[in-house]
Structure 1
Amino acid sequence: MKTRPLTLAAGLLGVAALAETYRAFVRPWVMTWGATVDEATATLPGDELLPDADGIATRAITVDAPPEAVYPWLVQMGPSPRGGAYTHDWIENLLGLDMHSVDRILPEYQHPVVGDTIGDAPRTPKVVVAEPNRAYATLTADGNWLWSFTLVPHGDGTRLISRNRFRLPGLARKLGMIPMEPGSLIMERRMLRGIKERAERLARDG
């Protein structure tokens, strides 16, 4: 009868050890994939719109194309009929997001202005930063998720920095985000690589 409490205690200690290992060694890489220390700690356009974030993920990639070949892909992102998110569409659509990544520029979405909305979902984001070839950001209607993209010239190419700032009201949401973080990296890494491929092709083919 005494072994059951001991087994439970050992299990809890194991879970705690795994959680601490993730927090100390794995989470920093998950939340800053591809970003330099300077990029991960920099103040970026749009940060001031959600200053009290519970979590921040800053991920980045080098694109061998100038900012003007990158920006068009950012501003047309969103559910159909917009350009999708250049990631694993089948996963997005399991969640009913109606994402269909395109390989062409959509002229009708190339001139966003602050206040534009992206789609018509309950948490519909709106454009809060639109600086051509420099920065683009959206904020959800509830004000809890800011997603920004910053384009920094890098030699003949561009450093594309994606930052998610989010608030998580309530303990349940904070705990629920822990297993979501690695999943978000899988999706965002594919997105960044998808943008890179498209921008480089655009720059090459004109």
Structure 2
Amino acid sequence: MNARKRNEGGVGSAPPASSASLEVENWPVSLYWGIKPDETSLDFPCDRLNASFETAYYRAITILSPPDIIFRWLCQMRVAPYSYDWIDNFGRQSPQKLIPGLDKLEIGQDMMMIFEIEDFEPGRSVTIRLKRKLRFVADAVISYMIVPSESGDCRLLVKILMDYPRWIIGLLMRIFFPWGDLIMMRRQLMNFKKLAERNP
């Protein structure tokens, strides 16, 4: 998948990057952590789903490692979440070495226990979606996309599409989910950076 620009607007669109007065630091950090203005207009795999979502969040980090190594670490989410293990992995440490065979992805495979693989392109991207049996609470799709740069490093970009439930639970999730997700995903991306930049 090429990192194409999106010309259309859409759910969760970022403020226009063409505005001279707009600076990334003025964006809400809970919605746009680490992302650059032009990166929010890229074509993410989750944008192609035949579904509508209420809002979007972005996260990003620079990793000094080849795309294929970063992709293999993303595939490790089949067995562990790589965030705060004492919170979301029952206290077990996420594997610190690549496990052979985990990069053999298939649509529908489990990831991070509550997600399943919706789409992937080897060496490029992985898109996961909340399991169908859990969507009565909310719906979420996450695309992890690797974008190599001319300087030899890569940008790992993440776009999260969310559809919240109605009533008070939806209101509370809109308030607290972005911050909770930021805390957990920031840790996850920093772990992937550390592990990918180290020998596999």
TM-score by length of structure 1 reads: 0.74
Structure 2 stretches lacking a partner, 5+ long: 1-24
Structure 2 partner of 1:126: 116
Tell me the distance in 2 between the aligned counterparts of 1:61 and 1:27: 16
Output the amino acid matched with 2:116. Answer: K
Tell me the distance in 1 between the aligned counterparts of 2:33 and 2:181: 11
CA positional deviation for 1:46: 2.2
Does 2:40 match 1:45?
no
Does 2:158 match 1:158?
no
Asked whether the 8 Å contact 1:56–1:163 carries over to 2, the reply is yes
Tell me the distance in 2 between the aligned counterparts of 1:158 and 1:90: 29
Tell me the distance in 1 between the aligned counterparts of 2:27 and 2:92: 28
Richer in helix (by share): 1
Tell me the distance in 1 between the aligned counterparts of 2:195 and 2:51: 32
Structure 2 partner of 1:67: 67
Tell me the distance in 2 between the aligned counterparts of 1:50 and 1:32: 24
Q: Name the count of aligned residue pairs.
A: 169
Correspondent of 2:95 among 69, 86, 102 = 102
Tell me the distance in 2 between the aligned counterparts of 1:128 and 1:193: 24
CA displacement, residues 106-161 of structure 1 (integer Å, 9 cap, x when unaligned)? 11311102232337x5xx42211121110101112236111110000012111000
Does 2:154 match 1:189?
no
TM-score by length of structure 2 reads: 0.76
Structure 1 stretches lacking a partner, 5+ long: 1-24
CA positional deviation for 1:41: 3.1
Partner SS state of residue 103, structure 1? coil
Tell me the distance in 2 between the aligned counterparts of 1:149 and 1:45: 9
Output the amino acid matched with 2:46. Answer: G
The verdict on how the C-alpha distance between 1:146 and 1:108 changes in structure 2, with shifts beyond 3 A counting, is: same
CA displacement, residues 18-71 of structure 1 (integer Å, 9 cap, x when unaligned)? xxxxxxx98722111000112123331122226421221110000011111100
Identity of counterpart residues, as a percentage? 29
1:131-146 to 2 correspondences below 5 Å:
131-142=121-132, 144-146=139-141
Tell me the distance in 2 between the aligned counterparts of 1:51 and 1:67: 29
List 4+ stretches of structure 1 deviating above 3 A: none
The verdict on how the C-alpha distance between 1:43 and 1:172 changes in structure 2, with shifts beyond 3 A counting, is: farther
Tell me the distance in 2 between the aligned counterparts of 1:175 and 1:41: 27
Asked whether the 8 Å contact 1:30–1:181 carries over to 2, the reply is yes
Structure 2 partner of 1:115: 108
Asked whether the 8 Å contact 1:50–1:146 carries over to 2, the reply is no
The verdict on how the C-alpha distance between 1:37 and 1:158 changes in structure 2, with shifts beyond 3 A counting, is: same
Tell me the distance in 2 between the aligned counterparts of 1:163 and 1:190: 16
Structure 2 partner of 1:148: 143
Correspondent of 2:176 among 176, 179, 182 = 179
